[in-house]
């Protein structure tokens, strides 16, 4: 990238600058935490001993009562009586529950004190809190230092990820690395209830807070949090649809009778910074496609001459599983994988019992694919775009090249290999769904026509950073059409 994204933490010394205040507290925090656990462990042991004595007392009482019980008034349900006994008390389990609550509270405090939570979008923050519900790591000096030093070193990535997620929620075009740039105005659909006129708390509030948080951090200011929401609420008095106008330090927000809101960004310098962060986070796709006139020989090493190479973005296992799940359930289908790579989609298809034909242009990857060759799998070494279309396949499943619009050429060619009723399922950049270029619009028109005039269900989002392990943060979607007769 030629564009350098602004760093939220400018250099290593500044990156660590938020840590000293916490670092000086770590020993005290852990010491207090350890003391609390020691005391609660002692208390639990004392309670356990006390309840044992209570059980012994009750045994003597039953002997003294000779099996009789006074029914004039049943004092066994009096709270003071019940406090003497605790059925099923487990000292170890109670101490562990106490520890989990204590450590979760400490981790949450440290996340806020270091400013890391301010860098997260609402979804990331919620996922962190959800993680503490399921598993709470013990708070130790070593773990706290290691965890937060890692978080501070990754502060820029955390912020960039949060920015990308926040704006993708605001406008679907932000899902693409190349389809949209932040401009002077954004539209928030259904920000307010069309009946009561109040905020749609389910998502609009989080979206507004996230957007304000991004601009505040870019301006090196503290986020307003719900303060901005309170300002908007104050400008929308009464019940029912209404217009409103709120001025904040970064935005002018106008609410409309139909429930939509328009946001005007009043700081062009921050808009530029936000676009730089998005560009750096998504990055550029390195060429990963062979042109149609290139044959496989160019990618094979010959004597002392180097072979050509292409950037390879393999399909991560979770993404591959989601793609295969979109396949219509039918045993023993004949499936074409025309961008087979090293077999990340081939393997799950074979495991499902399907017959697979795999095509790959790169010789080294073909050698790996041949490990799967057999009665259920055939491998073709060649350029898929040069293969003559033969409509014999029940499905084509692929992760085509992402570079520029090469994926369009691959998908159009792949469609011609399908039987009538066959499925074309592919992982493509999110720009396939939201791109506004002439090529993207024409592609979606072709796809809708190829799918029998239906556009619903053609695109399904994959989770953010689904391809991070493959070397790109580009948002991706699953594309699916069925060939019509």
Do 237 and 349 sit in the same domain of this protein? no
- Asked if residue 150 is part of any domain, the answer here is no
Do 197 and 272 sit in the same domain of this protein? yes
Tell me if residue 160 falls in helix, strand or coil.
Answer: helix
Do 338 and 451 sit in the same domain of this protein? yes
Cβ atoms of residues 340 and 317 within 8 Å? no
Do 246 and 388 sit in the same domain of this protein? no
- CA dihedral over 278, 223, 185, 242, signed as positive or negative: positive
The Cα–Cα gap between 53 and 48 comes to: 9
What Cα–Cα distance (Å) separates residue 279 from each residue in 4, 204, 271, 368? 9, 25, 12, 35
The Cα–Cα gap between 430 and 461 comes to: 8
- Asked if residue 2 is part of any domain, the answer here is no
Is-above-0.75 flag for pTM? Answer: no
Do 361 and 466 sit in the same domain of this protein? yes
Do 390 and 469 sit in the same domain of this protein? yes
Do 102 and 196 sit in the same domain of this protein? no
- Asked if residue 305 is part of any domain, the answer here is no
Do 327 and 468 sit in the same domain of this protein? yes
First to last CA, the chain: 45
- Asked if residue 152 is part of any domain, the answer here is no
pLDDT tens for the 485 residues of the chain, in order: 333 444 443 444 444 444 545 666 888 899 999 999 999 999 999 999 999 999 899 899 989 988 787 877 888 888 888 888 877 889 999 999 999 999 999 999 988 887 788 888 777 888 888 888 888 999 998 888 888 777 777 777 778 888 887 777 776 666 665 555 666 677 788 888 888 888 776 677 888 888 888 888 889 888 887 888 888 888 888 888 899 999 988 888 999 998 888 888 888 888 888 878 877 777 665 444 455 555 555 444 444 444 344 567 889 999 999 999 999 878 889 999 999 999 999 999 999 999 999 999 888 899 999 999 999 999 999 989 989 999 999 999 999 988 778 889 999 999 999 999 999 999 998 888 888 788 889 999 999 999 999 888 899 988 878 888 877 778 889 999 999 87
Q: How many domains does the chain have?
A: 3
- Asked if residue 306 is part of any domain, the answer here is no
The Cα–Cα gap between 244 and 266 comes to: 18
Do 428 and 474 sit in the same domain of this protein? yes
- β-pairing, 244-247 vs 334-337, is unpaired
The Cα–Cα gap between 319 and 464 comes to: 11
Which residues lie below 8 Å from residue 421, measured CB to CB, with a gap of 6+?
482, 483, 485
- Asked if residue 169 is part of any domain, the answer here is no
Do 361 and 464 sit in the same domain of this protein? yes
- Asked if residue 299 is part of any domain, the answer here is no
Cβ atoms of residues 272 and 325 within 8 Å? no
Do 399 and 461 sit in the same domain of this protein? yes
Do 196 and 97 sit in the same domain of this protein? no
Identify the bridge partners of residue 426 per DSSP, sorted by sequence position.
398, 479
The Cα–Cα gap between 238 and 193 comes to: 13
CATH number at residue 421: 3.40.50.150
Rg (CA), the chain: 30
Q: Name the helix (H) or strand (E) containing 23.
A: helix 19-65
Q: H helices then E strands: how many in the chain?
A: 17, 11
Question: What residue numbers bound the domain in which 223 lies?
Answer: 185-282
Of 150, 142, 139, 149, give the one whose Cα is nearest residue 109. Answer: 139
- Asked if residue 199 is part of any domain, the answer here is yes
């Amino acid at each position: 990238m030629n564009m350098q994204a602004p760093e939220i933490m400018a250099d290593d010394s500044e990156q660590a600058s938020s840590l000293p205040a916490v670092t000086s507290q770590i020993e005290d925090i852990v010491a207090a935490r350890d003391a609390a656990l020691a005391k609660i462990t002692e208390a639990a042991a004392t309670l356990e001993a006390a309840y044992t004595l209570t059980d012994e007392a009750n045994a003597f009482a039953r002997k003294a009562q000779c099996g009789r019980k006074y029914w004039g008034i049943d004092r066994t349900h009096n709270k003071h009586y019940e406090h003497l006994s605790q059925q099923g008390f487990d000292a170890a389990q109670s101490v562990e529950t106490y520890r989990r609550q204590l450590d979760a509270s400490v981790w949450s405090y440290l996340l806020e004190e270091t400013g890391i939570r301010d860098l997260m979008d609402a979804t990331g923050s919620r996922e962190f809190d959800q993680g503490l519900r399921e598993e709470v790591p013990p708070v130790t000096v070593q773990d706290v230092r290691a965890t937060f030093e890692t978080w501070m070193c990754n502060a820029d990535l955390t912020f960039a990820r949060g920015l990308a997620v926040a704006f993708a929620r605001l406008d679907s075009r932000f899902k693409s690395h190349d389809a949209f740039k932040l401009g002077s105005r954004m539209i928030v659909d259904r920000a307010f209830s069309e009946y009561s006129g109040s905020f749609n708390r389910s998502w609009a509030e989080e979206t507004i807070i996230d957007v304000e948080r991004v601009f505040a951090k870019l301006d090196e200011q503290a986020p307003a949090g719900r303060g901005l929401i309170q300002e908007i609420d104050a400008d929308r008095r009464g019940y029912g649809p209404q217009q409103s106008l709120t001025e904040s330090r970064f935005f002018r927000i106008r609410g409309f009778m139909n429930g939509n809101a328009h946001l005007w960004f009043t700081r062009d310098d921050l808009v530029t910074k936000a676009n730089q962060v998005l560009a750096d986070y998504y990055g550029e796709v390195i060429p990963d496609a062979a042109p149609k006139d290139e044959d496989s020989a160019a990618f094979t090493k010959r004597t002392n001459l180097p072979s050509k190479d292409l950037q390879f973005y393999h399909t991560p296992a979770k993404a591959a599983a989601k793609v295969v799940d979109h396949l219509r359930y039918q045993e023993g289908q004949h499936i074409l994988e025309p961008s087979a790579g090293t077999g990340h989609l081939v393997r799950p298809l074979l495991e499902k019992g399907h017959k697979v034909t795999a095509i790959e242009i790169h010789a080294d990857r073909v050698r790996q694919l041949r490990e799967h060759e057999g009665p259920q799998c055939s491998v073709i070494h060649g350029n898929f775009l040069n293969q003559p279309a033969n409509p014999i396949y029940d499905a084509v499943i692929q992760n085509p090249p992402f570079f520029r619009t090469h994926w369009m050429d691959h998908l159009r060619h792949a469609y011609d290999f399908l039987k009538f009723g066959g499925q074309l399922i592919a992982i493509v950049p999110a720009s396939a769904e939201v791109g506004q270029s002439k090529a993207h619009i024409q592609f979606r028109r072709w796809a809708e026509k190829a799918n029998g005039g239906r556009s619903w269900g053609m695109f399904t989002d994959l989770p953010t950073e689904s391809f991070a392990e493959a070397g790109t943060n580009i948002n991706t979607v699953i594309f699916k059409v069925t060939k019509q007769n």
